[in-house]
Amino acid sequence: MRSQALRGLLLIVSCASFGGAWAVPARAYAHKVKESVAPPRGWVKHNPAPDHNIVLRIGLPQPNFSTLEKHLYEVSDPDHERYGAHLSKEEVEKLVAPHQESVDLVNEWLETHGIQENDLIRSPAKDWVTLRIPIRLAEKMLDTTYHVWKHTASGDAMVRTTSYSLPSHLHDHIEVVQPTTMFGRFKRSASTISWPEDSETTASLQNLPPIVDTVSGTKVDASCNSTITITCLQQLYNAVGFVPSSEGNSVGITGYLEEFANIQDLQSFYADQRPDALNSSFEFFSVKGLLTHHLPVGGLNDQTLSEAGAEAGLDVQFAFGLSHPIPATFYSTAGRPPFIPDVGTPTDTNEPYTDWLDFILSQSNPPLSISTSYGDDEQTVPESFARRACAGFAQLGARGVSLMFSSGDGGVGDNDPDPATQQCFTNDGRNVTRFLPSFPASCPYVTTVGGTTNIPEVAVSRFFSGGGFSDYFPRPDYQKKAVGDYLAALPKGTYEGLFNPNGRAFPDVAAQSDRFRIFLSGRPVLIGGTSASSPAFAGIVALLNDVRLANNQRPLGFLNPLLYSKGVSGFNDITIGHNSGCGTLGFNATAGWDPVTGLGTPNFGKLKELVIS
């Protein structure tokens, strides 16, 4: 409850904007440090931050999250009686809602700084509060000083601090405030682009007899060893001839960093590889990335052919091409960190996938299978923030959504061949050599997809499938046996001290990830990276959801408990290759699960029987 004194104080606070002068000073509270980090490796502090606006996200505690997690695992376990009984939007929001005391105390604190309800945007469960304020006010509220920091290797700059404080009585009522100590550079998985081989080479390969994949036993066109198409994936993953037919199914792709999915390129792709899909498209949603005059400004949808995004084109062409005619959605989320304050970009924001989470959690019927090919080094995302974002993914899983993330292309951390420029060091001031897991790939509530190449399949070699062990999240029960078996077979002392053997291990699965033929700005190109494997796997999951819906069963939802139990027999085990990085050969692909290709690549013919049994 607000005190009588506070009510009196609020009555005389100036009605001027919170960037202006005060009629009375804000109520004095004793501040205590909430979070502090060492100056991050590779970043140099420059001058204090100039005047600009900053979008703060304040995370309130979710006291019943453990109950939500229990529901998530029960409805995702194929051996549990509640399997498939996903929660509603309202049920999930109730489970993650903060206590009213937390809401009231945070409101009182904000009001003492002149911030009113109409200055705020609240998440559907009211567990996040977002506000756009001058940075000088943010410094006052958080008892800190922001500086411009520059990344020496890339030249990127951002406005951050290494420590912030909160009134001591709010420490139990606020879990995290960002952007403050987050130095993530939020990047797409590294994609390589090349031009298709000449027609004579392609024609010669097409005239060769089909290749028999020794793992799956399927026959695959010889040309698939130089160019991956929809037909190649259908053949390799045993999905030839399957036509989705169920109502209520859906598939989605997330787009960030001003990547646009070009419809004309999609039509060219369909004409080339999926003619039955010609003249079909996808639904587009523009997701807010910042606040201007308290109104959301969304992601753009520039259909100029020359501005087409390679990542977005790859994602939509293969995810939607594999799953056609399942209804498809593309989400364009605004925001492009790192941030340099200038006249054209007057507002500093967080990593935009949290904006997308706010948006998608507010929707009554999100897509059932969603792929994302973006992320950060885990250590550049403060653990408090990583846990809260990961909890958002858990909410979607509990509602029946399958989330796929690419594992990244840095091997075990950094596949730069020059040891002098490798960045495999801790970010905590100790500068200790360490493998670098990725986030959100390391979140235990998502399905992380590694990369393979060639037929028969091996771990991708032209770049290296990201994989390893989280330093933030403990290994979940669903993968303890599979990962335990791998670690038990690992020669004693291998990479000791370079990774956390008790951490959540990734990737979970894999798919082809090199030489995908897409159309970009009107021309065919070949593109590769785990940014290809994630949407490809998401397309397969959309097909599996169709199988379940056709049998009057609920969608798959969070996949991992299924994959690591009865689903294992539906995967092609990849046993050749490794994921180099940090001056090492990384981990090896081997029989069973491994931190290069996970459980392996999907065999749709087997999985479609397993998911309804």
Active-site annotation, residues:
311, 315, 531
Q: Any bridge partners for residue 288, and if so which?
A: 298
Q: Which residues contact 177 (CB under 8 A, 6 or more apart)?
A: 34, 35, 56, 57, 58, 59, 142, 164, 166
Q: What is the CA radius of gyration of the chain?
A: 24
Q: Report d(CA 450, CA 511) in Å as an integer.
A: 7
SS3 (DSSP) at 293: coil
Q: Report d(CA 430, CA 425) in Å as an integer.
A: 8
Q: Which residue has the tokens 């050749």?
A: 576
Q: What are the phi and psi torsion angles at 482 (to 5°)?
A: -60, -45
- Check the annotation: does 573 bind a ligand: yes
SS3 (DSSP) at 164: strand
Q: For residue 281, give the amino acid letter.
A: S
Q: Which residue has the tokens 């003619």?
A: 275
Q: Report d(CA 327, CA 368) in Å as an integer.
A: 10
Q: Report d(CA 548, CA 543) in Å as an integer.
A: 9
Q: Report d(CA 253, CA 558) in Å as an integer.
A: 17
- Check the annotation: does 592 bind a ligand: yes
Q: How many residues does the chain have?
A: 613
- Check the annotation: does 594 bind a ligand: yes
Q: Report d(CA 213, CA 210) in Å as an integer.
A: 9
SS3 (DSSP) at 560: helix
Reported as type and span, the H/E element at residue 142 is: helix 135-142
Q: Report d(CA 507, CA 411) in Å as an integer.
A: 11
Burial of 21 (0-12, 13-18, 19+ CB in 10 A): exposed
Of the CA atoms within 13 Å of residue 240, those in its CB half-sphere come to 10
390, 443 Cβ separation under 8 angstroms: yes
603, 563 Cβ separation under 8 angstroms: no
- Check the annotation: does 574 bind a ligand: yes
Q: Report d(CA 484, CA 495) in Å as an integer.
A: 16
Reported as type and span, the H/E element at residue 71 is: helix 65-76
Cα–Cα distances in angstroms (integers) from residue 448 to residues 110, 479, 522, in the given order = 38, 13, 31
* Token duo for residue 309: 């995004």
547, 65 Cβ separation under 8 angstroms: no
Reported as type and span, the H/E element at residue 341 is: none
587, 595 Cβ separation under 8 angstroms: yes
3-state helix, strand, coil in the chain (%, to 5): 30, 25, 45
* Token duo for residue 487: 């670690």
Binding-site residue set for Ca(2+): 573-574, 592, 594
Binding-site residue set: 573-574, 592, 594
